[in-house]
């Protein structure tokens, strides 16, 4: 307690650049060294040599359905244990904060899970839980993707949302289709409660999507996947990336696993709206495991090499990719800088959530959640609140 720890000999991601600098931490918070030196007349109590590694903010995953044999949407009785197991496992991938994601499910599943998954600070026991991402059931049948059609619901107004979900206290993000009846009314209600509304699993045209954003939506769920493809006369949700009829930054999730999105599509999206790109895994229970059959909500999923399909179909069902893999693939596919690739998994999701002053950054006063990386963006070690929570002995 109160000891000043100095991380030195590292390249720090700060103000969109990698710079050789030291990181000073006290009581889990990043300190301004000038204030320490000139006002408090203090130096470091402990010095840690980072051996020339990259020091990045901890990674933030806004859409992850499970991992390590855990599916957040199905094992309701043991969901607390399951979420904690995934939170612990994510530390090895540099993830320090995440949103457990629940796919389209019956109402009683939502209510039971939301009562048990509460926001939680990160520690040596696992990454921080920021709140639940509810993906469905208010989505389009035509673009259901891997979501079970029988549980998709009509959006009859705000009451229908409360009827299906119950208590919204632990909810951080809701994905819905903006073309549904009463969508704008519901988006306003959720936004006023501080919940991020994301647009996805949709056949929305551009005008409907713009109306949704102007009603409060600010995120797009896995851009290009489970939505109408870009068309030059009506680009649909994709058109939000360059729309002049919205007055705020629009953010969009991308599954940069090398399977869900062609490298050319990654380049198009990034060049159209670089500040809005957020890398997500959309990982399922098979993340980190061998090929086989696993669970995604109320359905079985088959893993074939690096792809996940709804059993007995060719419908993609989330990914088995890790966030460092997505970062590396994005950088290679787009020829972006290391800084751009890292900020798509750190600063941008934090900004989308309105949490950029505390996570996703290494600015003074932010929480000292960070990851040390090799030059090829492999995780070397992970820190939460300045404490070592994972180290790669290899």
CB environment 93-128: b (16+ within 10 A), e (fewer): bbbbbbbbbbbbbbeebbbbbbebbeebebeeebbb
Roughly what angle, to the nearest 10 degrees, separates helices 183-192 and 158-165? 60
CA distance linking residue 31 with residue 39, whole number of Å: 12
Residue 96: phi, psi to the nearest 5? Answer: -110, -10
Distance CA(385)–CA(367), nearest Å, equals 6
CA gap 368, 45 in Å, rounded: 17
Provide CB contacts within 8 A for 388, sequence distance 6+.
381, 382
Sort residue 134 into left (φ over 0), alpha (ψ -120 to 50) or beta.
Answer: beta
Q: Is 11 marked as a binding-site residue?
A: no
Is 239 annotated in a binding site? The answer is no
225 is in an annotated binding site: yes
Check the annotation: does 385 bind a ligand: no
Is 146 known to sit in a ligand binding site?
yes
Residue 346 · residue 59 · CB < 8 Å: yes
Q: Are the C-beta atoms of 65 and 71 separated by less than 8 Å?
A: yes
Distance CA 34, CA 199 (A): 44
Q: Which is nearest to 347 in space by CA: 104, 97, 140?
A: 97
Which DSSP category does 283 fall into? B
Q: Is 141 annotated as a binding residue?
A: no
Residue 247 annotated among the catalytic residues of the structure: no
Q: Is 40 annotated as a binding residue?
A: no
Is 209 annotated as belonging to a binding site?
no
Please tell me whether 233 is known to bind a ligand. yes
Q: Does the annotation place 271 within a ligand binding site?
A: no
Distances (CA, A) of 357 to 6, 28, 297, 368: 21, 14, 34, 11
The answer to the question of whether 317 is labelled as a binding residue is yes
Query: Residues 22, 282, 369, 376: which is the catalytic one?
Result: 282
Kind plus residue range of the DSSP H or E element containing 390: strand 387-391
User: Per the annotation, where are the binding residues for Zn(2+)?
Assistant: 135, 201, 222
Q: Which residues are catalytic?
A: 282
- Return binding residues: 135, 146, 201, 222, 225-226, 233, 260, 316-318
Q: Which residues are annotated as a binding site for substrate?
A: 146, 225-226, 233, 260, 316-318
């Amino acid at each position: 307690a109160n000891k000043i720890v100095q991380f030195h000999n590292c390249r720090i991601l700060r103000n969109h650049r990698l710079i050789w600098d030291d990181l000073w931490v006290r009581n889990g918070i990043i300190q301004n060294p000038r204030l320490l030196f000139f006002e408090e007349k203090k130096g470091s109590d402990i010095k840690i040599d980072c051996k020339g590694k990259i020091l990045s903010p901890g990674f933030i995953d806004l859409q992850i359905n499970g991992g390590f044999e855990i599916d957040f949407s199905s094992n309701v009785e043991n969901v607390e244990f399951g979420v904690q197991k995934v939170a612990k496992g994510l530390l090895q991938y540099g993830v320090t904060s995440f949103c457990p994601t629940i796919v389209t499910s019956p109402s009683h599943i939502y209510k039971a899970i939301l009562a048990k998954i509460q926001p939680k600070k990160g520690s040596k026991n696992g990454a921080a839980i920021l709140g639940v991402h509810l993906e469905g059931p208010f989505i389009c049948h035509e673009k259901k993707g891997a979501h079970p059609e029988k549980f998709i619901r009509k959006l009859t107004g705000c009451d229908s949302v409360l009827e299906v979900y119950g208590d919204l206290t632990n909810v951080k993000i809701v994905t819905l289709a903006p073309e549904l009846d009463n969508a704008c009314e519901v988006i306003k209600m959720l936004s006023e409660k501080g919940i991020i509304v994301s647009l996805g699993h949709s056949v929305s045209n551009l005008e409907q999507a713009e109306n949704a954003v102007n009603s409060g939506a600010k995120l797009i769920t896995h851009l290009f996947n489970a939505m109408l493809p870009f068309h030059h006369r009506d680009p649909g949700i994709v058109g939000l990336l360059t729309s002049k009829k919205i007055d705020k930054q629009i953010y969009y999730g991308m599954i940069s696993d090398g399977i869900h999105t062609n490298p050319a599509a990654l380049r198009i999206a990034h060049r159209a709206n670089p500040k809005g790109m957020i890398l997500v895994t959309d990982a399922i229970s098979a993340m980190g495991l061998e090929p086989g059959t696993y669970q995604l909500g109320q359905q079985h999923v088959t893993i074939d090499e690096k792809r996940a399909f709804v059993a007995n179909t060719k419908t993609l069902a989330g990914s088995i990719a890790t966030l460092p893999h997505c970062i590396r693939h994005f950088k290679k596919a787009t020829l972006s800088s290391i800084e751009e690739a890292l900020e798509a998994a750190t600063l941008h999701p934090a900004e989308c959530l309105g949490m950029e002053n505390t996570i996703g950054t290494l600015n003074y006063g932010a929480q000292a959640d960070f990851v040390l990386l090799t030059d090829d963006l492999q995780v070397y070690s992970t820190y939460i609140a300045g404490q070592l929570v994972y180290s790669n002995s290899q």
